[in-house]
Amino acid sequence: MNNADLVLNFLNSHQDYKYCDDCLTTNSGVHPHQQINQICRIRLSQEIIREQDQCSICGRFKIVNQSIVGVVV
């Protein structure tokens, strides 16, 4: 499993949560931090939602990543 799969799997299994890049790095176990940013911005641009919101973990308002699976349109 590559890092993009790891991140996607992690977000899909935590659908109700929004993770900033920092918390996603810490919780998914993917390193380095720079790679998370790249994965979420480019590799997973169709699979996840990336927007300005409150991180479910650290509570800060910044760019957060969320699984698209958990979002009801």
Interface residue with Zn ion among 11, 36, 39, 55 (CB under 5 A) is 55
Mind spelling out the 3-state secondary structure of the chain? CCHHHHHHHHHHCCCCCCEEHHHHHHHHCCCCHHHHHHHHHHHCCCCEEEEEEECCCCCCEEEEEEECCCCCC
> Per CB under 5 A, does 20 bind Zn ion?
yes
Find the part of the chain contacting Zn ion (CB under 5 A) among 7-15, 16-24, 25-33, 44-52. Answer: 16-24
> Per CB under 5 A, does 57 bind Zn ion?
yes
Least distance in Å: CB of 69 to Zn ion? 20
